Structure 1
């Protein structure tokens, strides 16, 4: 019997099939092929529908997309029982009073004494040793300090040559002082203003007129002044004990001809507790990661599962559990077997973080934590292995196939999930790097990246300076003023590195 007849559910003996006219046989074969093709197309359409459904359900909880891109119907946060407490400060809460400046900083002090008793009207005499202090803070009208240098030109009576006087060595030819340069840089880098907004702020707030070209020139001058400090920060990070790394796209134009291939730019960040380093490259490959961390990186890397970091040994890596959590949730939202496996993985992740939170708040000892994690690890590996054992086609795009591939990939790097359990000072998530890179993402959205290589250098250096100084609680404007002043006087540039006495970060000796 022909297989095409079976496809139609037609039962016919071999003898009858032999007697069937050739034209009918040909028709049956064509219809059988049509059915197979239709079934294949239906399978493909189902796979596409499931893929589109997964994309439609993508949120910040099951993917790397930010909460700002969540659809309106997405659940923003977990539902919690409404508290019976009233809004505001609770009974016994330590209040916060307004900050008062020291008396030495006051330009004037006025003492006010009551003359009569507010109850009986009797005249009052005496001294209050602890009067109530009320301060008025005001900003005086800002007027720039303008110093004019007149360079006279005199004609020689002997040879009629005109000679003009030269500027003193300590007078910069740009026409702007160090604080103006520093202020333009801070407005651009710390507050992420565009060049036109910086130009407007300098006129409206400080009464200083300058062109857009001057704004850019002052930014580039400041960028060069802090080059050595940023390079020292890079070396410090590369020799640190624990480093968090992340990357995001950051477009770079080709106005200067340095990106003639129109490659996608990438902004990388390497984070330690007190020093953070940024770099912008036209690649997202392993070479860029090596340049970020150093060829001989010997510390512990905290990152996601991106392949550019795979040159770092698994024994030196802590993979981010926040990324894993999103993967597990994504798997749990798929139909069929994937849902069961995903729910099991999410359950183990939740158990792990319940214990970790207890370690952080001091209610669970690390040695006890390490013993309890063994059971969680075994259960998680079993669930991953259960998914990895399913046989799938190399080109299969079903939800189960995606789950199997993800679980196989996680199993390959499974030893790098648990370093934080054994090593103190290592976090289970890469949140520090993601927090550090967030201002850069905002900068990218408002500026659409940079147009030149010099612009990219300004961005990476300014992000390094601002993020590092904020983590050390140092003033950005003061640092930039000192850096520009030092460069103009050919003295040493101030350092971004923390004082040894104040540093809690352990640094590995360079190999």
Structure 2
């Protein structure tokens, strides 16, 4: 009997079990009940875990190819959020879920550290694209001329200036007016009612005014506001990268949207029990999110992946369809 025929479960059933966990965020016990209710298939929770492990192994090749694709992208959005992996001293052991995403492929990785070494490993030492992030120091190693700091985070900081009041609050209102002004222009460019050339011509005055207001806040505002203004000034060069690079967004909202599903997953499952569970989570999240960005069917992809893996055949690619032949030939 061939090896792939020795399992009690077929490829589509194994793919469906992983889909219910990775996309629909059902617990292993709920997956067990769902398969029983919908398909009349009776299996134990341990079998669900085994199917997850098999899927993690099957996705390894596709995720490796996706990693190389993201590392070669022109623009990457990066972020990280808290995670729990296993237990230590009776409490959940702190870990971090990292996400780096190009326009069509999102890569997830769970690590014990939030340091810059993880970001370097994910992006690769040869990465030369534009990097869109928040102000977390884990990205400080990257060339400031190629880095873009998110203006959604800055908007919340300026609102914090206003809410704390005092001299910093007054400066915060002026900063917010400048922010609203150039966002209005940016949206006009996006809607094709203002030319890109006119936008670039108007922006230097805004850049100078924002810099001047931040320096006043750092020198004269209340302690907390002054400290925040000083921190923002450390990344002043990264605030305006989007002005000189057409197509580069002023915010990291795209990256935040890619991470939202994973955050809800974490709140539902409270993390993973160990490295083996983490490998399944990061690979299934990579597959589900990337396929959503490409508007491809997840169940069909997972079924085909498991089918090929069990028979020792090349597994399907997570790369955009138009890019797959070129990269496959290069490999």
Please give the range of the TM-score, normalised by the shorter of the 2 chains.
over 0.9
Closer, same or farther: CA 437–501 of 1 in aligned 2, 3 Å: closer
Alignment of structure 1 residues 5-16 onto 2, 5 Å = none
Structure with more of its chain in helix, by fraction: 2
C-alpha distance in structure 2 between counterparts of 1:336 and 1:441, whole Å:
36
The answer on whether the counterparts of 2:4 and 2:311 sit within 8 Å (CA) in structure 1 is no
Decide which structure has greater strand share.
Answer: 2
Deviations along 1:403-437, whole A, 9 cap, x unmatched? 11111111111111111111112110000110111
Distance of 1:501 and 1:328 partners within structure 2: 41
In 2, Cα distance between equivalents of 1:432 and 1:260: 37
Q: Please report how far the alpha carbon of residue 264 of structure 1 lies from its aligned counterpart in structure 2 after TM superposition.
A: 1.0
1:252·1:451 contact (CA, 8 Å) conserved in 2?
yes
What is the match of residue 470 of structure 1?
Answer: 292
Deviation at 1:389, TM superposition (A): 2.3
Structure 1: gaps of 5 or more residues: 1-167, 391-398
> Contact 2:83–2:271 (CA<8 Å) still a contact in 1?
yes
Report deviation, 1:229. Answer: 0.3
**Pairing 1:267–2:97 present:** yes
Q: Alignment length, in residue pairs?
A: 327
Q: Distance in 2 between matches of 1:380 and 1:335?
A: 18
SS at match of 1:279: strand
Residue 319 in structure 1 maps to residue 172 in structure 2: no
Instruction: Give 2:256's match in structure 1, choosing from 434, 438, 441.
Output: 434
**Which of residues 213, 223, 226 in structure 1 aligns to 2:46?**
213
- CA distance in 1 between partners of 2:231 and 2:123 (Å): 24
The higher relative CO (CA closer than 8 Å, separation ≥ 6) is in 2
Distance 2:179 2:26 in 1: 41
Matched, 1:482 2:297: no
Pairing 1:124-273 to 2, within 5 Å after superposition = 168-169=1-2, 171-254=4-87, 263-273=93-103
Q: Does 1:363 align with 2:193?
A: yes
Q: Note closer, same or farther for the CA distance 1:293–1:501 as it changes in structure 2 (3 Å cut).
A: closer
CA drift of 1:306 comes to: 0.4
Which residue matches 2:171?
341
**Structure 2 CA distance for partners of 1:492 and 1:502, relative to 1, 3 Å:** closer
Does the aligned pair in 2 maintain the 1:222–1:484 contact within 8 Å? yes
Counterpart residue number, 2:315? 493
- Deviation of 1:448 after TM superposition, in Å, equals 0.7
**Equivalent pair of 2:101/2:255 in contact (CA under 8 Å):** yes
- Distance in 1 between the 2:324 and 2:21 partners? 29
TM-score, normalization by structure 1: 0.62
Q: 1:261 to 1:239 in 2, by over 3 A?
A: farther
Runs of 4 or more consecutive aligned structure 1 residues displaced over 6 Å after TM superposition: 259-262
Shift, 1:177, TM fit = 0.9
1:332 is matched with which residue? 162
CA contact (8 A) 1:263 1:283 kept: no
Q: By how many angstroms is 1:263 displaced?
A: 4.1
Q: Secondary structure at the match of 2:39?
A: coil
Alpha-carbon separation, structure 2, partners of 1:281 and 1:262 = 14
1:409 aligns with 2:231: yes
Pairing 1:290–2:120 present: yes
Map Cα deviations across residues 363-420 of structure 1 (whole Å, 9 max, x no partner).
Answer: 1111110111111111111101112223xxxxxxxx8111111111111111111111
Distance 1:296 1:403 in 2: 37
> Normalising by the residue count of structure 2, what TM-score does the alignment of the two structures yield?
0.95
After superposition, the CA RMSD in angstroms is 2.0
Q: For the residues of structure 2 that align with 1:178 and 1:314, how far apart are their CA atoms?
A: 47
Structure 2 gaps of 5+ residues are none
SS of residue matched to 1:358: helix
Report the Cα offset of residue 239 of structure 1: 1.0
Aligned partners of 2:317 and 2:324 also within 8 Å: no
User: In the alignment, what sits opposite 1:455?
Assistant: 277
What whole-Å deviation, never above 9, does each CA across 1:142-163 have from its counterpart, x for those lacking one? Answer: xxxxxxxxxxxxxxxxxxxxxx
Secondary structure of 1:253's counterpart equals strand
